[in-house]
């Protein structure tokens, strides 16, 4: 490649970057036309493009940039102020420049100059007449001679140049092209050409001359700065490097497996070191492919502006989290889906100004594009404050188009109805516009996002607006996966789709797995979970037999389902390999990978598996099953089991635990009469349970286990002998045998009598200051009623509230709670949601309809913390929604609602 070709390549790369920036800057300039720094920045960019175009002899490109620079010069020097018409033509110039740059990149040559003559003349005429529109000539306004004298055509404002519809246009256009060519085409190094005129002539305004001289150097001012810390690397080289990193990960996995089987200490040590370096190298290589999502977001100010004008609406765009990084391949893949979603928000979501004013909204609508990291994924949200989506309108349109039948229309929830928008060909638009309304797009958006391993969901509130939330992985090259086995074959499941793992014994499966219309369902904490048996979907040989169930609970965005497998093996990083042409069209597979033993394993496509669900909406049967699930049945809990002494087993909710770790006994220190450990640069106090409970003491050991908690920003840990297990079980506590502060009750788990500990009470006995914020004294008796069917949570909540000084009564379900309320004075109700006979929603509605109870404060404490559940609760009349195990927030909610009740009564 010659020197000139190298320079041209660099010019094209830089020009593309600058042009994308110009779109955003011009829209910003329209909002703030007096921004001198912004004008100077735009001027320098266009000046650089013009100078480099002259160097290469690109006459058409130089001509457009030249006249655009003339306009910008007058704006920069204050001769006129940027208005909508001026910004329009400058943006049009940017579009023409983009087209020329694209052609140069493809063919190395400019397009035929006749294609651009009309616009060049239009641009020249505008540049000449803009002074008259501003009310003063360029000389009177102090236009720098450096920008007008040598470069402008000789006829600055002659009447002959104004007509653009006559035959002589061509000659005028050729003359317009010749003027800049005379400077740039004849000089082999055009960039220095502005310097001499600038030195000779300065604008009359004294502050402007030196500034122009400084800001118009011979070369592009940004290039020198960038080359100090950046280099440009071909993306294909980065892709090859990523592929090699993937191969290295595969080799590492294989070596780790061999080292574990050989069990040689030196080999293990060397393998661990290699594994660490491989991981760090992979992370660094990944960073070279990562780009800020702002590279996509920054295109949208221009898009939003243009679409809003087409729709006769006023829309302001806010961008948040533009620095959030994604893999380059995903950045490219999300451009079109985001564009379609933004078009829909402007066309269907945000109302015209007059309608917004009638609704009490500001005339200018707001569109927010937001990106952030969450749980190893990137979340992109598109929010508008428009009219929202009316489920009834969607339901009616779906009926008219035959997408659903009448029975389905009545049985579908509002959320399910809104998701019909993703059906092919569906649209609620009354008429087709240039922007949208053809019923093409939302299904493609969903498909394209799911191909990336992502999900898309819609949250909408009629009259208030709509939020579309997209979840996508950081990268598609190397991903964490869980490995499962079915009928002797291993399969990989991307962890981005994983919700939880559930193990059922044969007896539990028989009791909780139900079959309706040929489809299997499992009752998971009161919710109905559809099941897919992997062996049946893949047509593997199977036989019905009594065996344990392993359920991998997966999320596809708009639904959850359980995948039944024979074994759940392990989690590891896998390298995604594309499928061969014989397998790529099978919906259940997303790719392949090589395992540590060198054998291949197929990667499951979770969306494809979900499509195999034969959910014949037997809604009546499903509702019956849900009601059956809500009858008196013990709630399942995730528990951590551990021992202090060898003969006693204890249980605590796993959700309370911040982390688990192992420490050496020699690392324990005694400070201020307390045992502490230095852990991750922090000093953590240690709690010996035998000091507060009537249990056997902790034996002396060389190593102990830590069960750490974080309370009000402070760390504290139980010191225990062994971690026994973590289990998902249904238990009914017996609180009659063991009665002691810090013990909630007992139950038999895995054949052993297990004591359930009240973590908060024990920590309060250890250090009352941990809860100083919430232990405010209560000046008068406050009566709390707890409605909770689980004895474990009932006792736990009772411990919270009584410890804070409240008087507490309990009820085992909603019906019992309602009867108690009608016969006893109560200040605040704390209720579960999922209960037999009458659930929390039904209880709240009954209370609000009772004149004597209607003002009773209600706090819902539940494990159902989704947005839909919260919305249902608020609609039913619940005042606050808290997670059961969050002691501080439960107490805060109770105290706040009681205080509000007192104020209202006064």
Residue recorded with tokens 């309706």: 516
Please count the other Cβ atoms lying within 10 Å of the Cβ belonging to residue 347.
20
**Rounded CA gap, 490 and 570, in Å?**
11
431 token code pair: 């008429």
193 token code pair: 């050409």
Residue 775 in 3-state DSSP? coil
Measure the CA dihedral 412/413/414/416, to 10°: -70
Evaluate if residue 120 carries a pLDDT over 50: yes
User: What is residue 129's predicted lDDT score, i.e. its pLDDT?
Assistant: 86
Evaluate if residue 151 carries a pLDDT over 80: no
**Rounded CA gap, 434 and 306, in Å?**
12
Give the confidence band of 642 by pLDDT, cuts at 50, 70, 90: very high
Listed as own residue / partner, the contacts of 312-317 with beta carbons closer than 8 Å and 24 or more positions apart are 312/352, 313/346, 313/350, 313/351, 313/352, 313/353, 313/365, 314/353, 314/363, 314/364, 314/365, 315/346, 315/350, 315/364, 315/365, 315/366, 315/367, 316/364, 316/365, 316/366, 316/367, 317/367, 317/368, 317/369
Evaluate if residue 173 carries a pLDDT over 50: no
User: What is residue 902's predicted lDDT score, i.e. its pLDDT?
Assistant: 83
Residue 368 in 3-state DSSP? strand
Q: Please classify residue 54 by burial: count the beta carbons closer than 10 Å to its beta carbon, then call 0-12 exposed, 13-18 middle and 19+ buried.
A: buried
Phi/psi at 866 (5° precision): -75, 165
Count, residues in the chain: 906
Least confident segment among 69-78, 195-204, 445-454: 195-204
Residue 136 in 3-state DSSP? coil
Query: Which of 114-118, 308-312, 444-448, 472-476 has the highest average model confidence (pLDDT)?
Result: 308-312
DSSP string over 406-433? HHHHHHS-HHHHHGGGGSTT----SS--
Tally of helices (H runs) and strands (E runs) in the chain = 30, 34
Number of alpha carbons in the 13 Å side-chain half-sphere of residue 40? 13
| Contact by Cβ (8 Å): 707, 642 | yes
| Contact by Cβ (8 Å): 349, 355 | no
616 token code pair: 């014949």
* Predicted confidence (pLDDT) per residue in 711-728, tens digit: 777 889 999 999 888 777
Which H helix or E strand runs over 669? strand 669-671
Evaluate if residue 588 carries a pLDDT over 70: yes
Q: Please classify residue 19 by burial: count the beta carbons closer than 10 Å to its beta carbon, then call 0-12 exposed, 13-18 middle and 19+ buried.
A: middle
Evaluate if residue 509 carries a pLDDT over 50: yes
DSSP 622: H
Residue recorded with tokens 């990989």: 492
184 token code pair: 């740039």
User: What is residue 580's predicted lDDT score, i.e. its pLDDT?
Assistant: 66
Give the confidence band of 319 by pLDDT, cuts at 50, 70, 90: very high
| Contact by Cβ (8 Å): 876, 844 | yes
308 token code pair: 């809003």
User: What is the separation of C-alpha 897 from the centre of its chain, rounded to a whole number of angstroms?
Assistant: 33
User: What is residue 368's predicted lDDT score, i.e. its pLDDT?
Assistant: 94
Close Cβ partners of 211 (under 8 Å, ≥ 6 residues apart): 40
User: What is residue 861's predicted lDDT score, i.e. its pLDDT?
Assistant: 85
Close Cβ partners of 722 (under 8 Å, ≥ 6 residues apart): 642, 643, 705
Residue 765 in 3-state DSSP? helix
Phi/psi at 188 (5° precision): -70, -25
User: What is residue 637's predicted lDDT score, i.e. its pLDDT?
Assistant: 72
Q: HEC string of 514-561?
A: EEECCEEEEEECCEEEEEEEHHHHCCCCCCCCCCCEEEEEEECCCCEE
Any idea what the Cα angle at residue 606 is, between residues 242 and 275, rounded to 5°? Answer: 35
**Rounded CA gap, 133 and 567, in Å?**
78
User: What is the separation of C-alpha 164 from the centre of its chain, rounded to a whole number of angstroms?
Assistant: 51
* Predicted confidence (pLDDT) per residue in 808-829, tens digit: 999 988 899 999 999 999 999 9
Beta-bridge partners for 615: none
Give the confidence band of 355 by pLDDT, cuts at 50, 70, 90: very high
* Predicted confidence (pLDDT) per residue in 742-761, tens digit: 888 888 888 788 999 988 88
Least confident segment among 67-71, 231-235, 705-709, 833-837: 231-235
The pLDDT of 47-70, averaged and rounded, is 87
Evaluate if residue 283 carries a pLDDT over 90: no
**Rounded CA gap, 346 and 435, in Å?**
9
Close Cβ partners of 333 (under 8 Å, ≥ 6 residues apart): 448, 451, 452
Query: Phi-psi category of 326—alpha, beta or left, where left has phi over 0 and alpha has psi -120 to 50?
Result: beta
Evaluate if residue 159 carries a pLDDT over 60: no
Which H helix or E strand runs over 783? strand 783-787
Instruction: List, in sequence order, every beta strand (DSSP E) within 231-312.
Output: 290-292
Terminal C-alpha separation, the chain: 85
* Predicted confidence (pLDDT) per residue in 181-208, tens digit: 433 333 333 333 333 333 333 333 333 3
User: What is residue 187's predicted lDDT score, i.e. its pLDDT?
Assistant: 37
Query: Which of 156-160, 589-593, 699-703 has the highest average model confidence (pLDDT)?
Result: 699-703
654 token code pair: 């796993």
Measure the CA dihedral 528/532/533/538, to 10°: 180
Close Cβ partners of 60 (under 8 Å, ≥ 6 residues apart): 100, 110, 111, 113, 116, 120, 177
Close Cβ partners of 673 (under 8 Å, ≥ 6 residues apart): none
Any idea what the Cα angle at residue 93 is, between residues 87 and 97, rounded to 5°? Answer: 145
Close Cβ partners of 237 (under 8 Å, ≥ 6 residues apart): none
Annotate 716-740 with b (16+ C-beta within 10 A) or e (fewer).
bbbbbbebbeebbbebebebeebee
User: What is residue 236's predicted lDDT score, i.e. its pLDDT?
Assistant: 76
Percent of the residues in the chain that have a pLDDT greater than 90, as a whole number:
14
Which H helix or E strand runs over 325? strand 325-327
**Rounded CA gap, 906 and 688, in Å?**
48
Give the confidence band of 316 by pLDDT, cuts at 50, 70, 90: very high
Phi/psi at 160 (5° precision): -65, -25
The pLDDT of 845-867, averaged and rounded, is 82
DSSP 345: I
Residue 453 in 3-state DSSP? coil
The pLDDT of 372-400, averaged and rounded, is 84
Average model confidence (pLDDT) across the chain: 76
DSSP 666: G
Evaluate if residue 353 carries a pLDDT over 90: yes
User: What is residue 144's predicted lDDT score, i.e. its pLDDT?
Assistant: 40
Phi/psi at 210 (5° precision): -60, -35
Going by their DSSP bridges, the two strands 489-494 and 600-604 should be labelled as parallel
- Domains of the chain by start residue, with CATH: 3-227 (1.20.120.160), 235-289 (1.10.287), 294-473 (3.30.565.10), 478-629 (2.40.50.180), 636-770 (2.40.50.180), 773-905 (3.40.50.2300)
Close Cβ partners of 825 (under 8 Å, ≥ 6 residues apart): 783
Give the confidence band of 635 by pLDDT, cuts at 50, 70, 90: low
User: What is residue 544's predicted lDDT score, i.e. its pLDDT?
Assistant: 57
Number of alpha carbons in the 13 Å side-chain half-sphere of residue 165? 0
Query: Phi-psi category of 680—alpha, beta or left, where left has phi over 0 and alpha has psi -120 to 50?
Result: left
Give pTM, 2 decimals. Answer: 0.47
**Rounded CA gap, 862 and 788, in Å?**
10
User: What is residue 543's predicted lDDT score, i.e. its pLDDT?
Assistant: 60
Give CA separation, 54 vs 25, 102, 113, 174, 879, in Å: 24, 17, 15, 16, 69
Give the confidence band of 581 by pLDDT, cuts at 50, 70, 90: low
User: What is residue 720's predicted lDDT score, i.e. its pLDDT?
Assistant: 93
**Rounded CA gap, 878 and 783, in Å?**
18
332 token code pair: 């490219």
**Rounded CA gap, 788 and 858, in Å?**
13
Give the confidence band of 542 by pLDDT, cuts at 50, 70, 90: low
**Rounded CA gap, 745 and 795, in Å?**
8
Q: Please classify residue 21 by burial: count the beta carbons closer than 10 Å to its beta carbon, then call 0-12 exposed, 13-18 middle and 19+ buried.
A: middle
């Amino acid at each position: 490649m010659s020197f000139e070709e190298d320079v041209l390549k660099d010019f094209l790369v830089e020009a593309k970057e600058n042009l994308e920036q110009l779109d955003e800057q011009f829209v910003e300039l329209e909002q703030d036309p007096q921004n001198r720094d912004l004008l100077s920045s735009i001027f320098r960019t266009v000046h650089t493009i013009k100078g480099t175009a002259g160097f290469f002899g690109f006459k058409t490109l130089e001509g457009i940039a030249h006249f655009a620079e003339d306009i910008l010069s007058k704006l920069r020097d204050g001769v006129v102020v940027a208005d909508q018409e001026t910004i329009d033509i400058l943006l049009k110039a940017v579009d023409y420049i983009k087209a020329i740059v694209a052609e140069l990149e493809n063919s190395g040559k400019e397009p035929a100059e006749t294609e651009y003559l009309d616009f060049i003349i239009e641009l020249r005429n505008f540049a000449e007449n803009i002074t008259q529109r501003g009310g003063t000539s360029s000389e009177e306004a102090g236009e720098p001679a450096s920008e007008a004298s040598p470069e402008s055509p000789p006829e600055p404002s002659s009447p002959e140049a104004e007509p653009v519809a006559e035959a002589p246009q061509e000659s005028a256009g050729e003359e317009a092209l010749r003027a800049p060519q005379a400077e740039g085409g004849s000089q082999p190094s055009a960039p220095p050409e502005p310097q001499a005129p600038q030195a000779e002539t300065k604008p009359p305004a004294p502050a402007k001359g030196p500034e122009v001289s400084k800001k118009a150097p011979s070369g592009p001012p940004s290039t020198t700065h960038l080359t100090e810390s950046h280099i440009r690397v071909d993306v294909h080289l980065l892709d090859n490097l990523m592929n090699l990193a993937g191969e290295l990960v595969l080799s590492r996995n294989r070596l780790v497996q061999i080292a574990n089987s050989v069990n040689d200490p030196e080999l293990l040590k060397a393998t661990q070191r290699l594994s660490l370096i491989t991981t760090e190298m992979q992370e660094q290589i990944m960073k070279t492919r990562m780009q800020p999502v702002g590279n996509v977001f920054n295109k949208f100010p221009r898009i939003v502006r243009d679409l809003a004008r087409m729709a006769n609406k006023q829309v302001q765009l806010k961008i948040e989290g533009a620095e959030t990084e994604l893999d380059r391949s995903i950045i490219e893949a999300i451009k079109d889906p985001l564009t379609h979603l933004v078009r829909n928000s402007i066309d269907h979501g945000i109302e015209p100004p007059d309608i917004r004013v009638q609704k009490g909204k500001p005339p200018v609508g707001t569109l927010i594009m937001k990106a952030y990291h969450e749980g190893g994924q990137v979340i992109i949200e598109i929010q508008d404050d428009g009219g929202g989506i009316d489920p009834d309108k969607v339901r009616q349109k779906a009926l008219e188009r035959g997408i659903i039948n009448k029975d389905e229309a009545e049985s579908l929830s509002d959320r399910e109805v809104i998701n019909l928008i993703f059906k092919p060909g569906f649209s609620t638009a009354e008429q087709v516009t240039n922007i949208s309304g053809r019923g093409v797009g939302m299904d493609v958006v969903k498909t394209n996002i799911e191909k990336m391993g992502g999900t898309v969901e819609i949250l909408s509130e009629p009259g208030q607006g709509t939020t579309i939330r997209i979840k996508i992985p950081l990268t598609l090259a190397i991903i964490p996966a869980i490995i499962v086995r079915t009928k002797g074959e291993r399969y990989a499941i991307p962890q981005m789709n994983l919700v939880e793992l559930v193990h059922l014994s044969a007896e539990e499966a028989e009791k909780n797995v139900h079959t309706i219309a040929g489809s299997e369902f499992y009752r998971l904490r009161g919710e109905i979970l559809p099941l897919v048996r992997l062996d049946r979907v893949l047509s593997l040989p199977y036989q019905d037999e009594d065996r344990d169930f392993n359920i991998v609970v997966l999320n596809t965005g708009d639904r959850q389902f359980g995948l039944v497998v024979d074994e759940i093996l392990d989690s590891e990083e896998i390298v995604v390999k594309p499928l061969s042409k014989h397998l790529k069209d099978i919906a259940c597979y997303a790719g392949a990978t090589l395992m540590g033993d060198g054998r291949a394993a197929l990667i499951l496509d979770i969306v494809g598996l979900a499509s195999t669900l034969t959910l014949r909406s037997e809604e009546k049967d499903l509702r019956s099953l849900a009601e059956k699930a809500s009858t008196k049945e013990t709630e399942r809990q995730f528990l951590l089991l551990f021992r202090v002494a060898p003969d006693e087993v204890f249980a605590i909710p796993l959700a309370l635990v911040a982390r688990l770790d192992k420490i050496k006994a020699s690392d324990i220190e005694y400070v201020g009469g307390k045992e502490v450990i230095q852990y991750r640069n922090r000093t953590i106090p240690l709690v010996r349970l035998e000091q507060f409970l009537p249990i056997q003491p902790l034996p002396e050991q060389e190593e102990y286990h830590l069960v750490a908690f974080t309370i009000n920003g402070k760390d504290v840990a139980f010191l225990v002998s062994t971690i026994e297990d973590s289990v998902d079980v249904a238990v009914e506590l017996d609180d009659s045998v063991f009665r002691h502060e810090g013990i909630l009750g007992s139950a038999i788990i895995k054949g052993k009598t297990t004591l359930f500990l009240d973590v908060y009470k024990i920590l309060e006995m250890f250090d009352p200051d941990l809860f100083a914020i919430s232990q405010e004294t209560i000046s008068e008796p406050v009566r709390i009623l707890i409605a909770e069917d689980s004895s474990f949570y009932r006792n736990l909540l009772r411990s919270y509230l009584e410890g804070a000084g409240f008087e507490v009564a309990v009820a085992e379900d909603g019906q019992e709670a309602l009867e108690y309320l009608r016969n006893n004075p109560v200040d605040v109700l704390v209720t579960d949601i999922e209960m037999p006979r009458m659930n929390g929603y039904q209880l709240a509605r009954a209370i609000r309809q009772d004149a004597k109870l209607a003002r009773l404060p209600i706090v819902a404490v539940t494990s159902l913390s989704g947005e839909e559940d919260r919305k249902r609760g608020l609609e039913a009349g619940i005042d606050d929604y808290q997670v059961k195990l969050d002691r501080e927030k439960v107490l805060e909610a109770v105290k706040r609602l009681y205080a509000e009740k007192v104020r209202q009564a006064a």
